[in-house]
Amino acid sequence: MGTTDRLSSLRGRQVVFTGRFSTGRQEDLIRRVRARGGTVSDKQVTNRTSILVNGAPVAHYKFGDHGTKIDDAMALRRRSQPIYFITEGEFQQLASGRGLSDAQSAAALAVLEPEDAGMPFRPSLSRRTTNGTLTIDLDARDRATAAHHRVCRRLAEAVEDAGLQPLSPFTHGWPQYDLAWNRGRKLWVVEVKTVSTTSERQQIRLGLGQVLDYRVSMERLKHRVQPVLAISAPPSDEHWEAVCEAAGVKLCWPDNWKHRLGLR
């Protein structure tokens, strides 16, 4: 990707917002676009739209996990109109006068089709929206650790070394897995968990439930899925390998994931 494709500012750009936003009302966001020299189409995507800002999904989305604006933007992209799909955080970055990096810009342009499994891997997108107080607390604590991000990055590097493209999930309306890649006709979807002697049982159970949830969700989107639970260290009890095998989930850790996942 050349530097000419880098999204450096809002100036001269037509912006469309979709979904809900946590950093202000849409009227406030529109004012920020105009203050930076951009324009806003508040009703629909047009042939002048170049930025679509994705907020949190809303209950009345026409297509279940996305709305009419996203669908229209996808259609324009199929006709070669470049439209950046950016997150709320990336919009705040632009509205503050800081352009997106080349990597951010490339990922924003890589969102092509509703049936795609994700965008090029971005470690900063590791996050989750789940139901249930216990799950949210455990997941937030795990994802806040440097160890979690380190495991994600190491696995992404192994995927790249195997000549495959590691993926991050689309920002909203998609299963929020940690990492995925396509190989052959199958989508490999990964949940990463850091484990210790005191947390192993809890973390593996949590991760197993999450990755099975992703499998069902992605299969509804017509993907053939191989779920993977990647943990930070070997389990102390072989019981967990048997549990994962029974569920059709590949359990792996840094010492064996190249062999177990065929990343060679």
Q: 215 in a domain, yes or no? A: yes
Query: What is the pLDDT at residue 141?
Result: 56
Q: 47-82 pLDDT, tens per residue?
A: 999 999 987 666 555 544 456 887 788 788 878 889
Residues 166, 94 within the same domain? no
- Which has the higher per-residue pLDDT, 147 or 74? 147
pLDDT of residue 258: 95
In this structure, what CATH number is given to the domain that contains residue 165? 3.40.1350.10
Please indicate, yes or no, whether residues 226 and 152 belong to a single structural domain of this protein.
yes
82 occurs within a structural domain: yes
What confidence category does residue 36 fall into, taking pLDDT thresholds of 50, 70 and 90?
very high
Structural domain contains residue 159:
yes
**pLDDT of the residue at 136:** 45
Taking the C-alpha atoms of residue 158 and residue 163, their distance in angstroms, rounded to an integer, is 9
57 contact partners, CB below 8 Å, separation of at least 6 = 19, 20, 65, 66, 172, 173
User: Does any domain span residue 232?
Assistant: yes
Last residue of a domain, one of 64, 86, 113: 113
Do 67 and 194 lie in a common domain? no
109 and 63 both lie in a single domain: yes
The answer to whether the pTM exceeds 0.85 is no
58 with 82, same domain: the answer is yes
Domain that holds residue 89: 3-113
Q: Quick one: 128 and 254 in the same domain?
A: yes
Asked if 133 and 252 sit in the same domain, the reply is yes
Q: Mark whether 149 and 97 lie in a shared domain.
A: no
- Measured between alpha carbons, how far is 94 from 209 in angstroms, rounded to an integer? 37
Write out pLDDT tens, residues 208-261: 999 999 998 888 777 889 999 999 999 999 999 999 999 999 999 999 999 999
Q: Are residues 154 and 243 in the same domain?
A: yes
Question: Are residues 199 and 168 part of one domain?
Answer: yes
- Tell me: do 98 and 160 sit in the same domain: no
**Is 107 in the same domain as 127?**
no
